[in-house]
C-alpha cells in the first residue's frame, strides 16, 4: 500500500514531467506508475513523493501550508486520513468534488506550481 498525502492527488493529476529537479521528476514518474497497481492510504504526513522534494529537510519546511492543502482536500472530498482506496477512485473524487466545483483553485492557490495546475 502506498501512503499518499491528500493534496498530492491533485498534484499527480496535473503532473507534466516538470519538478524541482531531475530526481524529483524521476520519483514522481515512478510513483505514478505504481499508483495504477497498488492501493493508497490517504495521509497528512510526508509520503513517497516527499522523499525527493527539496523542501523535505529533516521534515517538510512548508508543512504548515501543505497540511492545510491536505485537510481542505480531505474535507472537500468527504474522506478522512487513513482511508484506503485505489488512486483511480481518489482521482474521480477529486474531479467530482474539487475540480468540477472550482474548489481546487481555492485549496492551493498559493502553491508555487499553481501556474501549471490552474490552466486548462
User: 79, 93 in Cβ contact below 8 A?
Assistant: yes
Q: How many CA atoms lie within 13 A of 84 on its CB side?
A: 5
Please name the residues in contact with 86: beta carbons below 8 A apart, sequence gap of 6 or more: 39, 40
pLDDT of residue 63 exceeding 80: yes
- Domain membership flag for residue 120: no
pLDDT of residue 76 exceeding 60: yes
DSSP class of 2 = E
Please name the residues in contact with 112: beta carbons below 8 A apart, sequence gap of 6 or more: none
The pLDDT tens digits for 83-104 are 999 999 999 999 999 988 888 8
Residue 68: pLDDT band (50, 70, 90) is: very high
Total domains, the chain: 1
For residue 104, give the 3-state DSSP assignment. helix
The pLDDT tens digits for 19-58 are 788 988 899 899 999 998 999 999 999 999 888 888 788 8
Q: Domain range holding 20?
A: 2-112
- Would you state the pLDDT for residue 91? 95
- Domain membership flag for residue 21: yes
pTM of the model: 0.88
- Domain membership flag for residue 20: yes
Amino acid at each position: 500500500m502506498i501512503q499518499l498525502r491528500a493534496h498530492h492527488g491533485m498534484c499527480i493529476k496535473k503532473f507534466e514531467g516538470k519538478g524541482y529537479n531531475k530526481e524529483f521528476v524521476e520519483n514522481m514518474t515512478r510513483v505514478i506508475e505504481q499508483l495504477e497497481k497498488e492501493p493508497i492510504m490517504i495521509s497528512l504526513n510526508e509520503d513517497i513523493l516527499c522523499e525527493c522534494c527539496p523542501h523535505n529537510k529533516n521534515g517538510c519546511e512548508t508543512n504548515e501550508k501543505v497540511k492545510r492543502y491536505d485537510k481542505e482536500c480531505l474535507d472537500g472530498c468527504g474522506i478522512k486520513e487513513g482511508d484506503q482506496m485505489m488512486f483511480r477512485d481518489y482521482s474521480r473524487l477529486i474531479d467530482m468534488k474539487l475540480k468540477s466545483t472550482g474548489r481546487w483553485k481555492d485549496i492551493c492557490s498559493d502553491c508555487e506550481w499553481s501556474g501549471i495546475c490552474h490552466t486548462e
